[in-house]
Each structure stands twice: as C-alpha cells, then as structure tokens.
C-alpha cells in the first residue's frame, strides 16, 4: 500500500540556499526594533525554563550570528544558553530543534495570556455603563428617526424582540436594497426573507460599476450563506489592497475573515461533503481541523471495524489515540516512521514525503 502525503514538504531547499550564500559566520548586531520585538514576544523570559527575572540573552538558533531573522532568534537565560553549547561529554545538548519547539510554545503561551487580559470596552462587564450607553444611543437614534441604527443597536446588545420590531418598521417604511439585505441577512440571519430581485440587484451593484467592491461583495455573500465565494472575494480584495500598498486595509479584512469564522464555515461544508461520500479519512481530518475532540473520538470509535479492516496505519494510529491505547499508538507510529520515504521529483527537483507500506492483504 502506498500513501502520498497530501502536503508536499520541500525539504532542504532553504537550507541549501542558505549554505550556498553563507561562507563565514559574521556577527551582525540585532537591530534594536527587532530585539525589542523578540523580547516582547517572549515576555523577557527564557523560553526553555520560563523563569522570570533571570538574566537573558537573544540566541541565534542556527548558530549563525549574522542570521538576524525573527524566526531564528530565541530568548534564553544564561543557564539554558550554556546547554546549547555542550560539545561532547555526557551532558545532553539542547539542540536547535528543541530550542525551536520551546520557543514556539512559549511565544504562543505569552500571546494567549496577553489576549485573555485584554479589556474590550464594547464587551465591558460594567452593566451600569452598558445600560447608560445603550439608553443614550437609542435616544439619539430615535431623535434622528434612524430605525436601521436602532435595529443594529438592539442586535448588538442581544435584544432580539426590539431588533426585529425596528427591522420590520424600517423595511415597511422603505430602505435601499443593500440596507434591506443587511437587516435581513446580517442582523436577523434570514437571507431567505429577502426577495430574489433585491438580492440579485445588490449583488450586481457590488460586482460592476462605481460601487463595485470586492470586500463589500464578500460581506454580502457571507451574509447570504455562501462562505466559499465570500472568501474568494475577500482574498481578491485583500490582494488588491496589498498591490496598491494599503497594508492596513489588507490586515483589516484578513482579521474580518478570521473573526467571521469563515475558516470554520469551510470546514463545516467539507465535513458535510465527506460524510455524504462516506470518506472516513477526510472526515477525521476535517474534525481534527475543527478541533472537535469529542466528535472526533466518537467518529473514530464508531468506525472501529472499518478502520481495523482497512489496514491503514494512519487510521489505526487515530484509533489507538481514541482508545488511549499507548502501546498501539507507539506501534503505529513506528510503522509509519519505517515506511516514510523521502522522494524527489526528478523533473522539478521538489522533494516530498511518501509512504511505502508492506502489503497487508493476508
Ligand atoms: Zn532558562
């Protein structure tokens, strides 16, 4: 049986390039802004022992003091740094791979803990302030006779009843087509209530003519329940921003792609498709990408017979994990490692990982 990994890994390309251009190790001081960034990302703490307050230094993971790339720099305390310098003897050297693992893990921990400390005024737990804010904003909107703003405001605070009351009122009074779509699809989540001609007019206006906008079209498509085309438009809009040098706009819409959970929407669609096709492998991979651990475990165990009969070591590895069968897990990992073959496409020179398993048809 032969499986080809679905993600070809171009091995060695970067390494070879670097070796070709690198003759002598010359120490180049790390520019101040980069050093500041590295220290901030690591919270000025050693990424290996994570101790606070120890003297630290910035370490070049590949031992090349001229390679001042962010991804090559790790904050280490002097003790841990010494461990990277062991040559011979019985001490266990802290090698580049290990430092990289520690560093990536620590950086993500620091980032997570910063995120959880962030305070957002909009989500303020201060109920009194919240109430005062909503009441005064609603008053202003009422004075202006802005029913759309009122509906948005009530949507924001989760008052569905008042939201829907003002949506009906606004639509009865007459609103532009794009606003109609916004109220029904974006606020109410009911694109099915939008008359077909209204939806198609909005789509056309955002596609061609002076009001055409990739990112506005993306929002509209997403509201209308089409995440696949929405993402395509978002990416086209982001590309346009990058090409015209508008990095803020590119970052802004990229943030929106993640905030609106488009990635999850894509995986949900994939999940439905793979389930319909009865494709267990991709169903499992999709559940994994969704981080649905319980669902993953249930699916794997429900397909026990199918997995055992398939002889597929990757599936058996999942089964062992789901069963918490440590021996089985170790066994399949070894099997996979043994079968792993590094191959190079003779025409393109691109390397990838393939698997060559002994046939299992007993
Ligand atoms: Zn340390």
- The DSSP line for 182-203 is IIIIIIT--GGGS-HHHHHHHH
**How many whole angstroms from 37 Cα to the centroid of ligand 1?**
19
Contacts of 177 (CB under 8 A, 6+ apart): 198, 201, 202, 205
Report the mean per-residue pLDDT for the chain.
Answer: 85
Ramachandran assignment for 334, one of left (phi > 0), alpha (psi -120 to 50 degrees), beta (any other): alpha
pLDDT band at 206 (very low <50, low <70, confident <90, very high): very high
Neighbours of 54 (CB within 10 A): 15
**How many whole angstroms from 103 Cα to the centroid of ligand 1?**
11
**How many whole angstroms from 48 Cα to the centroid of ligand 1?**
5
**How many whole angstroms from 52 Cα to the centroid of ligand 1?**
9
**How many whole angstroms from 76 Cα to the centroid of ligand 1?**
5
Q: What is the pTM of this model?
A: 0.58
The structural domains of the chain, with segments of one domain joined by +, span 31-116, 126-261, 264-356
**How many whole angstroms from 54 Cα to the centroid of ligand 1?**
8
Q: At residue 55, does pLDDT exceed 60?
A: yes
Write the pLDDT tens digit of every residue in 145-194: 999 999 999 888 778 888 999 999 999 999 999 999 999 998 988 899 99
Write the pLDDT tens digit of every residue in 255-292: 999 988 899 889 988 998 998 998 999 999 999 998 88
**Averaged over 12-33, what is the pLDDT?**
58
**Residue 136 near residue 150, CB atoms below 8 Å:** no
Q: CA-CA distance, 191 to 172, in Å (whole number)?
A: 17
**How many whole angstroms from 94 Cα to the centroid of ligand 1?**
11
Give the 3-state secondary structure of residue 353: strand
**How many whole angstroms from 55 Cα to the centroid of ligand 1?**
9
DSSP per-residue codes, 17-34: HHHHH--S----PPPHHH
**Residue 93 near residue 71, CB atoms below 8 Å:** no
**How many whole angstroms from 83 Cα to the centroid of ligand 1?**
9
**Residue 306 near residue 283, CB atoms below 8 Å:** no
**How many whole angstroms from 46 Cα to the centroid of ligand 1?**
5
- Tell me which residues have their CB within 5 A of the ion that is ligand 1: 46, 48-49, 77, 80
Q: CA-CA distance, 353 to 6, in Å (whole number)?
A: 9
**How many whole angstroms from 205 Cα to the centroid of ligand 1?**
59
Q: At residue 298, does pLDDT exceed 50?
A: yes
- Lowest model confidence (mean pLDDT) among 34-43, 120-129, 265-274, 326-335: 120-129
**How many whole angstroms from 82 Cα to the centroid of ligand 1?**
9
Q: In the sheet where 340-344 sits, what is the strand order?
A: 2-4, 351-356, 340-344
**Averaged over 34-58, what is the pLDDT?**
87
Count H helices and E strands in the chain, helices first.
18, 5
The pairing of strands 351-356 and 56-60 is: unpaired
pLDDT band at 88 (very low <50, low <70, confident <90, very high): low
CA–chain centroid gap for 165, Å, is 37
Q: CA-CA distance, 204 to 219, in Å (whole number)?
A: 14
- Lowest model confidence (mean pLDDT) among 108-112, 151-155, 211-215, 245-249: 108-112
**How many whole angstroms from 75 Cα to the centroid of ligand 1?**
9
**How many whole angstroms from 112 Cα to the centroid of ligand 1?**
20
List the structure tokens of 181: 């779509």
């Amino acid at each position: 049986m032969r499986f080809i990994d679905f993600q070809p890994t171009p091995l060695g390309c970067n390494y070879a390039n670097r070796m070709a251009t690198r003759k002598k190790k010359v120490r180049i001081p790390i520019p101040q802004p980069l050093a500041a960034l590295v220290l901030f990302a690591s919270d000025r703490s050693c990424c290996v022992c994570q101790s606070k307050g120890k003297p630290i230094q910035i370490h070049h993971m590949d031992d090349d003091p001229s390679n001042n790339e962010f991804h090559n720099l790790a904050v280490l305390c002097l003790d841990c740094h010494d461990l990277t310098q062991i040559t011979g003897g019985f001490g266990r050297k802290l090698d580049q791979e290990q430092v990289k693992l520690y560093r990536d893990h620590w950086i993500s921990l620091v980032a997570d803990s910063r995120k959880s400390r962030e305070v957002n005024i909009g989500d303020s737990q201060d109920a009194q302030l919240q109430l005062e804010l909503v009441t005064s904003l609603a008053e202003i909107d009422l004075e202006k006779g802005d029913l759309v703003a009122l509906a948005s405001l009530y949507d924001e605070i989760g008052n569905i009843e008042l939201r829907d009351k003002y949506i009906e009122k606004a639509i009865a009074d007459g609103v532009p087509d794009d606003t109609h779509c916004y109220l029904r699809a974006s606020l109410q989540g009911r694109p099915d209530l939008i008359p077909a001609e209204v939806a198609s007019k909005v789509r056309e206006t955002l596609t061609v003519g002076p009001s055409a906008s990739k990112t506005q079209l993306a929002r509209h498509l997403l509201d209308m329940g089409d995440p696949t085309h929405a993402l395509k438009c978002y990416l086209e809009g982001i590309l346009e921003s990058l090409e015209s040098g508008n990095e803020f706009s590119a970052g802004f819409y990229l943030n929106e792609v993640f905030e609106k959970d488009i990635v999850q929407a894509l995986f949900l669609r994939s999940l439905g498709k793979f389930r319909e096709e009865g494709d267990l492998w991709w169903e499992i991979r999709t559940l994994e990408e969704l981080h649905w651990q319980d669902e993953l475990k249930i699916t794997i165990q429900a397909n026990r017979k199918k997995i055992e009969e398939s002889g597929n070591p990757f599936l058996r590895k999942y089964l062992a994990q789901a069963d918490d069968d440590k021996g089985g897990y170790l066994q399949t990992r070894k099997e996979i490692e043994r079968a792993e073959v590094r191959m190079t496409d003779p025409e393109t020179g691109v390397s990838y990982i393939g698997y060559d398993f002994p046939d299992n048809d007993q």
